[in-house]
C-alpha cells in the first residue's frame, strides 16, 4: 500500500460558507450510519473498502438532494440543454473529486480521522472508472465537470461498459492485458433508472407503406431488439450549485421481443439471445486512434445513440413541447464521429415515426447537431461499409443516401460539373467496397464543426476539409481544449493548491486566470523555495510509489522527466527512447560524463493489436532493466515504465514532474491535454510546436519552454521534398550508434534482433513520424534542460511561470467558448 500521507490542509478562512452544510460531527455520524445501516458491518470488522463505501454513501446523501433540486429546476424552467454524446467518459475516481466540489474534503478528512482512518488511504480503495481510452474520454470528463460548475444544464450520454479500458501488466517486459472490473462488487456512484428504459431495433428490413391519402412512408421492421437500461452518475459542479447527470446505457435482451421464442418452448435459445444482447455494452474498444470497422462496434454506437436520442425526445415531449421548438431546447454535441449515427436516427424518428416533412426535419437537425474533430490521422477517420450498414441499419442507410443526394445537389450548384469534388465530398465513398464516411456526414449536418487547438482547427480547414470550408465558410471553428483545475490542481496537488490559495486567493479554482497574480513572485526567492519544496515533496511521494509498484529505487534529487500518454508512433515515445540510449552511451563512454541525474518515467497503454506500439513498450522495459542495474553509470540514469497508466496514477505523476514530454511530430497531435496538466503543476515542457503546445508557448513565453524540432510547415516541406531517414543516420555518428545498438543483443541477452523492429521502422520503413529529422534538435533541447536545471533559481522561476500562465487552459474557458459559439445555453445555478 502506498503511503498516502499528504499534508492535511486546514480550511484557513472558517468564514467561507461551504457549498453544503455539514459539520465534522454530522459527517462522522453519517459515515457510521452507512457503515451500520447500509453495509451491515461495524467499526471493528470494517476494512478500508467498507469505509470507502460508507463514505461514498454518506456523500451521496448530501449530493442526491442537490441532484433532485437541480433536475426539478431544469424541468421547471424547461431549460435548453446540451447533450454531450460520447462513447468515452474517462472519469477516474469520484470520491475525492465529489468531496472537493461539495467543499467537504476537509470535513470528511477530519471526520475519518476521528474514526482512526485516513481519507487519502480510503480514496485509494476506489477503482478508476476507466470508460475511455485517453485524451478524448478525459476531455469529456473535464467538460461535464465544467458544465456543472458553471451552472449549465447538460447531460452526458455514454455506454455503461461492464469492462472499461483493459488493465495492463508486464511479463518479461511485454504488455499483458487483463479485463478491467470497475464495478465487480457494485459501485456506489451509479443509480439504475429502470423507469427510463429504452428499446432499440436492429437488423430486419424496410417496408414502404402507402397511407389512406396515397402518401408513402417507410417502416423499419426490426430483426432484433435490445433494451437499454440507464445508469445515472451524478456530476457535482464545484460549489454544488448544479448537479447534472452522466447517463450510461447498459444493453440487455428485450424480453418482450423474445416472447415468441419463449412461447415456442425455446427457453434455452432465449437465454442465448439474452447473452448476445448483453455483449453490446460488455467492453470498451481499446483503440485510441485507429478505426476497427467491427460489426459489434457499429452496434454499440447505434445502441447508445438510439437510447440517447429517444431519451432526449422523451424529455422534450414530457415538457409538452411541439416540434418547431425542438432546436430551441436541444443541442447535441458529437464527441468525434463515434456518435454520428444519432443524425440519421433523429431523421428517422422525425420523418418515419413523427411523419414530419423531410425539409423541416432536416432544418431541425442542422440546428441541433455540432461535431468535434479530434484527429487528422487518416486511419482514425471512421468509415463503415455500405454492406454492413445495409445489414444492421437498413433504414439509416436509405436516409444517409437521401441526405447525400440532396447534399451533392448543393455541391453541383457550387462547383457545376466538377465530379472530382463530388467524389471527394460525397458521404458515400465509391470503390470496390463502398463506404459511408462518418466525418463527411457530420460536417454536412452540423451547424458548427470544431477542432481542439488553434493549429489543429487551422489544419482541419486547410488540409482535412478545405472544400467544406469554402462551401460553409462559418462552419469550421476552433475551441481550444482545457482541463478542470478542480481535479488537476486542487485535488491532486493539495500543497500547491494551498500555496495558491494563500498567494492569489481561493478564487483560482473557478477563475484560473487568477494564477497570473502569482507571476510577480516568480523571482521571489522565498516563494521559489516554497514552490520547489512542494515539488520535492511530491517527488518523494512518487519515489515511494515507484518503489512499491516496481521495486526500483530512484532519487528525488534527479530530474523527473515524464512521458505519459497512449503509446503511439506519432507521439514518438521511440524518440524519447533513442535519446535515453544516447545518454546511456555517453555515460558508458565516459563514466565522469557530467549530467544532472535523470529519471525517465513512462506510462502508456498500447492498443492490443498495435504491434509496433507493443514493441516500443518492450524496448523501453528492456532498456530500463539494463540501465537500472548498470553500476557503471553511478545512478545518473534511471528508466521506469509504470504499469497500468490511468487517471488515478496520472494524479500522482503530474505533481511530481520536472519535465513534461510533448514530442509529437508537428501537425499530428490535435491538442494534447496532459501538456496542460504538467505545466499547471509546475513542470517545464520539452515539446514540438504542435497542438496546444503552441498556445501554451504564447501564454508562458517560449523562452520558458524547451521547444525543438520541425514546425508544421517544415514537416510539410520535408515530406514534399522527399524525406530520407538515412541522411540523418549516416550524418550523425551518435544517432547511428544508438540505432545499431538496437540490432545487438545488449538489451535482450541471447536474443539479438529482439528490438530491431524499432530500428527498421526508423530506417527501412521510412520513419513516417520523422524521429530522425528531429533527433538532433531534441538532444540539444535535453542538453539545455540539464544546463538550466543546475541554476535552481532560474528553474524555479520557469516552473512558476509555467504554472501561473495556465489560466487559458481551464476547461471552464473551453465550455464558455462552446456556449458562446455553438450551444448558446443559459445558466441555472441553484440559489
The piece of 130-138, 414-422, 583-591, 740-748 that touches ligand Z2T (CB under 6 A) is 130-138
Q: Extract the C-alpha cell encoding 347.
A: 431523421
Catalytic residue among 571, 646, 704, 782: 571
The piece of 231-239, 322-330, 665-673, 753-761 that touches ligand Z2T (CB under 6 A) is 665-673
Q: Does 228 bind ligand Z2T (CB under 6 A)?
A: no
**Between 258 and 297, how does the x/- string for binding to ligand Z2T read (CB under 6 A)?**
------------------------------xx--------
Choose which of 380, 392, 441, 633 interacts with ligand Z2T (CB under 6 A): 380
Residue 677 annotated among the catalytic residues of the structure = yes
Report the nearest approach of ligand Z2T to the CB of residue 610 (Å).
13
Catalytic residue among 530, 566, 572, 646: 566
Q: Does 690 bind ligand Z2T (CB under 6 A)?
A: no
Give bridge partners of residue 131 from the DSSP assignment.
Answer: 89
**Between 623 and 662, how does the x/- string for binding to ligand Z2T read (CB under 6 A)?**
----------------------------------------
Cα distance between residue 179 and residue 165, in whole Å: 8
Cα distance between residue 146 and residue 130, in whole Å: 19
Catalytic residue among 70, 480, 673, 748: 673
Residue 673 annotated among the catalytic residues of the structure = yes
Q: Does 691 bind ligand Z2T (CB under 6 A)?
A: yes
Cα distance between residue 188 and residue 58, in whole Å: 10
Backbone CA torsion sign across 817, 821, 823, 829: positive
Q: Does 673 bind ligand Z2T (CB under 6 A)?
A: yes
Half-sphere exposure of 816 (CA within 13 A, CB side): 10
Cα distance between residue 348 and residue 343, in whole Å: 9
In terms of CB distance, is 198 or 671 closer to ligand Z2T?
A: 671
In terms of CB distance, is 15 or 379 closer to ligand Z2T?
A: 379
Residue-wise DSSP of 338-365: TTTTHHHHHHHIIIIIS---HHHHHHHH
Report the nearest approach of ligand Z2T to the CB of residue 290 (Å).
9
How many residues make contact with ligand Z2T (CB under 6 A)? 19
Reference 827, options 807, 812, 809; nearest CA is 812
Q: Does 770 bind ligand Z2T (CB under 6 A)?
A: no
Report the nearest approach of ligand Z2T to the CB of residue 809 (Å).
11
Report the nearest approach of ligand Z2T to the CB of residue 457 (Å).
11
Catalytic residue among 225, 374, 396, 813: 374
Q: Does 669 bind ligand Z2T (CB under 6 A)?
A: yes
Specify the DSSP element, H or E, that contains 369.
Answer: strand 369-372
Q: Does 665 bind ligand Z2T (CB under 6 A)?
A: no
Cα distance between residue 474 and residue 728, in whole Å: 43
Reference 131, options 172, 95, 159, 109; nearest CA is 159
The piece of 166-174, 227-235, 531-539, 670-678 that touches ligand Z2T (CB under 6 A) is 670-678
- In this structure, what DSSP letter does residue 166 have? P
Q: Extract the C-alpha cell encoding 42.
A: 461495524
Give the footprint of ligand Z2T on residues 435-474 (CB under 6 A).
452
Helix orientation angle between 525-550 and 792-804, rounded to the nearest 10 degrees: 90
Cα distance between residue 444 and residue 194, in whole Å: 36
Backbone CA torsion sign across 702, 707, 709, 711: negative
Q: Does 135 bind ligand Z2T (CB under 6 A)?
A: yes
Specify the DSSP element, H or E, that contains 130.
Answer: strand 129-131
Specify the DSSP element, H or E, that contains 690.
Answer: none
Residue 634 annotated among the catalytic residues of the structure = no
Cα distance between residue 15 and residue 18, in whole Å: 9
Backbone CA torsion sign across 90, 96, 97, 99: positive
Residue 565 annotated among the catalytic residues of the structure = yes
Cα distance between residue 604 and residue 323, in whole Å: 47
Choose which of 46, 99, 139, 299 interacts with ligand Z2T (CB under 6 A): 139
Cα distance between residue 388 and residue 383, in whole Å: 11
Q: Does 621 bind ligand Z2T (CB under 6 A)?
A: no
Q: Extract the C-alpha cell encoding 208.
A: 414502404
Q: Does 92 bind ligand Z2T (CB under 6 A)?
A: no
Cα distance between residue 377 and residue 669, in whole Å: 9
For the beta carbon of residue 221, count every other beta carbon within 10 angstroms: 12
Report the nearest approach of ligand Z2T to the CB of residue 464 (Å).
12
Q: Does 672 bind ligand Z2T (CB under 6 A)?
A: yes
Residue 566 annotated among the catalytic residues of the structure = yes
Cα distance between residue 555 and residue 21, in whole Å: 44
Report the nearest approach of ligand Z2T to the CB of residue 234 (Å).
24
In terms of CB distance, is 612 or 763 closer to ligand Z2T?
A: 612
In terms of CB distance, is 493 or 662 closer to ligand Z2T?
A: 662
Reference 772, options 720, 722, 736, 721; nearest CA is 736
Give the footprint of ligand Z2T on residues 470-499 (CB under 6 A).
481
Reference 230, options 184, 177, 190, 272; nearest CA is 190
In terms of CB distance, is 281 or 662 closer to ligand Z2T?
A: 662
From first CA to last CA, the distance across the chain in angstroms is: 42
Choose which of 134, 344, 603, 687 interacts with ligand Z2T (CB under 6 A): 134
In terms of CB distance, is 133 or 576 closer to ligand Z2T?
A: 133
In terms of CB distance, is 70 or 662 closer to ligand Z2T?
A: 662
Q: Does 136 bind ligand Z2T (CB under 6 A)?
A: yes
Reference 675, options 646, 787, 620, 689; nearest CA is 689
Report the nearest approach of ligand Z2T to the CB of residue 136 (Å).
3
In terms of CB distance, is 141 or 365 closer to ligand Z2T?
A: 141
In terms of CB distance, is 175 or 335 closer to ligand Z2T?
A: 335
Rounded to the nearest angstrom, the gap between the alpha carbon of residue 427 and the centroid of all alpha carbons in its chain is 27
Report the nearest approach of ligand Z2T to the CB of residue 288 (Å).
4
Give the footprint of ligand Z2T on residues 319-378 (CB under 6 A).
336, 374-375
The piece of 132-140, 710-718, 725-733, 753-761 that touches ligand Z2T (CB under 6 A) is 132-140
Reference 671, options 571, 749, 599; nearest CA is 571
Cα distance between residue 620 and residue 257, in whole Å: 52
Which residue in the shown chain puts its C-beta closest to ligand Z2T?
Answer: 135
| Catalytic residue list | 374, 565-566, 571, 673, 677
Using CB under 6 A as the criterion, which residues of the chain lie in contact with ligand Z2T when the complex forms?
133-136, 139, 288-289, 336, 374-375, 380, 452, 481, 669-673, 691
Amino acid at each position: 500500500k502506498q503511503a498516502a500521507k499528504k499534508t492535511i490542509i486546514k480550511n484557513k478562512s472558517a468564514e467561507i460558507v461551504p457549498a453544503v452544510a455539514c459539520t465534522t460531527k454530522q459527517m462522522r455520524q453519517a459515515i457510521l450510519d452507512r457503515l451500520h445501516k447500509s453495509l451491515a458491518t461495524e467499526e471493528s470488522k470494517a476494512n478500508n473498502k467498507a469505509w470507502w463505501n460508507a463514505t461514498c454513501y454518506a456523500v451521496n446523501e448530501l449530493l442526491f438532494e442537490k441532484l433532485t433540486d437541480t433536475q426539478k429546476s431544469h424541468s421547471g424552467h424547461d431549460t435548453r440543454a446540451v447533450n454531450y454524446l460520447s462513447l468515452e467518459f474517462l472519469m477516474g475516481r469520484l470520491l475525492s473529486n465529489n468531496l472537493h466540489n461539495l467543499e467537504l474534503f476537509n470535513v470528511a478528512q477530519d471526520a475519518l480521522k476521528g474514526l482512526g482512518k485516513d481519507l487519502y488511504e480510503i480514496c485509494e480503495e476506489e477503482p478508476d472508472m476507466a470508460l475511455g481510452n485517453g485524451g478524448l474520454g478525459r476531455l469529456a470528463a473535464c467538460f461535464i465537470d465544467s458544465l456543472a460548475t458553471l451552472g449549465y444544464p447538460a447531460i452526458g450520454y455514454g455506454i455503461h461498459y461492464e469492462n472499461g479500458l483493459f488493465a495492463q501488466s508486464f511479463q518479461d517486459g511485454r504488455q499483458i492485458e487483463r479485463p478491467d472490473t470497475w464495478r465487480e462488487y457494485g459501485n456506489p456512484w451509479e443509480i439504475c433508472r429502470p423507469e427510463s428504459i429504452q428499446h432499440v431495433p436492429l437488423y430486419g428490413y424496410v417496408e414502404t407503406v402507402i397511407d389512406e391519402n396515397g402518401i408513402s412512408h417507410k417502416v423499419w421492421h426490426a430483426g432484433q431488439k435490445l433494451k437499454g437500461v440507464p445508469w445515472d452518475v451524478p456530476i457535482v459542479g464545484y460549489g454544488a450549485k448544479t448537479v447534472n447527470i452522466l447517463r450510461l446505457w447498459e444493453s440487455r435482451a428485450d424480453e418482450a421481443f423474445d416472447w415468441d421464442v419463449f412461447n415456442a418452448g425455446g427457453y434455452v435459445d432465449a437465454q442465448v439471445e439474452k447473452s448476445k444482447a448483453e455483449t453490446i455494452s460488455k467492453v470498451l474498444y481499446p483503440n485510441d486512434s485507429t478505426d476497427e470497422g467491427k460489426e459489434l462496434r457499429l452496434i454499440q454506437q447505434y445502441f447508445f445513440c438510439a437510447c440517447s436520442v429517444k431519451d432526449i425526445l422523451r424529455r422534450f415531449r414530457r415538457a409538452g413541447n411541439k416540434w418547431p421548438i425542438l432546436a430551441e431546447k436541444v443541442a447535441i454535441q458529437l464527441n468525434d464521429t463515434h456518435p454520428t449515427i444519432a443524425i440519421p436516427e433523429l431523421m428517422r424518428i422525425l420523418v418515419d415515426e413523427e411523419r414530419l416533412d423531410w425539409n423541416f426535419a432536416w432544418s431541425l437537425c442542422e440546428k441541433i447537431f455540432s461535431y468535434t474533430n479530434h484527429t487528422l490521422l487518416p486511419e482514425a477517420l471512421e468509415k463503415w461499409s455500405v454492406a454492413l450498414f445495409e445489414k444492421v441499419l437498413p433504414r439509416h442507410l436509405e436516409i444517409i443516401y437521401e441526405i447525400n443526394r440532396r447534399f451533392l445537389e448543393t455541391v453541383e450548384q457550387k462547383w457545376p460539373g466538377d465530379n472530382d469534388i463530388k467524389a471527394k465530398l460525397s458521404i458515400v465513398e465509391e470503390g470496390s467496397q463502398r463506404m459511408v464516411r462518418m466525418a463527411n456526414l457530420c460536417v454536412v449536418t452540423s451547424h458548427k464543426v470544431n477542432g481542439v487547438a488553434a493549429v489543429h482547427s487551422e489544419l482541419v480547414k486547410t488540409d482535412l476539409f478545405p472544400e467544406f470550408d469554402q462551401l460553409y465558410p462559418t462552419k469550421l471553428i476552433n475551441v481550444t481544449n482545457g482541463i478542470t483545475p478542480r481535479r488537476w490542481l486542487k485535488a491532486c496537488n493539495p500543497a500547491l493548491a494551498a500555496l495558491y490559495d494563500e498567494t492569489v486567493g481561493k478564487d483560482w479554482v473557478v477563475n484560473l486566470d487568477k494564477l497570473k497574480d502569482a507571476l510577480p513572485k516568480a523571482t521571489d526567492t522565498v516563494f521559489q523555495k516554497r514552490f520547489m519544496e512542494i515539488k520535492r515533496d511530491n517527488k518523494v511521494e512518487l519515489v515511494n510509489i515507484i518503489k512499491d509498484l516496481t521495486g526500483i529505487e530512484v532519487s528525488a534529487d534527479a530530474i523527473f522527466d515524464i512521458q505519459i500518454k497512449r503509446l503511439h508512433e506519432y507521439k514518438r515515445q521511440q524518440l524519447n527512447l533513442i535519446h535515453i540510449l544516447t545518454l546511456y552511451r555517453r555515460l558508458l563512454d565516459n563514466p565522469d560524463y557530467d549530467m544532472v541525474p535523470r529519471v525517465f518515467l513512462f506510462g502508456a497503454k498500447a492498443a492490443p493489436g498495435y504491434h509496433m506500439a507493443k514493441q516500443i513498450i518492450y524496448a523501453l522495459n528492456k532498456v530500463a532493466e539494463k540501465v537500472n542495474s548498470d553500476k557503471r553509470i553511478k545512478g545518473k540514469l534511471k528508466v521506469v515504465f509504470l504499469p497500468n497508466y490511468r487517471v488515478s496514477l496520472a494524479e500522482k505523476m503530474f505533481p511530481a514532474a520536472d519535465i513534461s514530454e510533448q514530442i509529437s511530430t508537428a501537425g499530428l497531435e490535435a491538442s494534447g491535454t496532459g501538456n496542460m496538466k504538467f505545466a499547471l503543476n509546475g513542470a517545464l515542457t520539452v515539446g514540438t510546436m504542435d497542438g496546444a503546445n503552441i498556445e501554451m508557448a504564447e501564454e508562458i513565453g517560449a523562452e520558458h519552454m524547451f521547444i525543438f524540432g520541425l514546425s508544421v510547415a517544415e514537416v510539410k516541406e520535408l515530406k514534399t521534398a522527399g524525406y530520407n531517414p538515412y541522411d540523418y543516420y549516416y550524418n550523425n555518428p551518435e544517432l547511428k550508434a544508438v540505432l545499431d545498438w538496437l540490432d545487438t543483443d545488449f538489451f535482450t541477452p541471447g536474443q539479438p534482433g529482439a528490438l530491431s523492429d524499432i530500428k527498421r521502422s526508423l530506417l527501412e520503413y521510412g520513419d513516417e513520424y520523422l524521429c530522425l529529422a528531429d533527433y538532433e534538435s531534441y538532444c540539444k533541447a535535453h542538453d539545455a534542460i540539464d544546463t538550466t536545471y543546475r541554476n535552481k533559481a532560474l528553474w524555479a522561476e520557469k516552473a512558476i511561470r509555467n504554472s501561473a500562465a495556465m489560466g487559458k487552459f481551464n476547461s471552464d474557458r473551453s465550455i464558455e467558448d462552446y456556449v458562446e459559439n455553438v450551444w448558446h445555453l443559459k445558466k441555472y445555478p441553484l440559489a
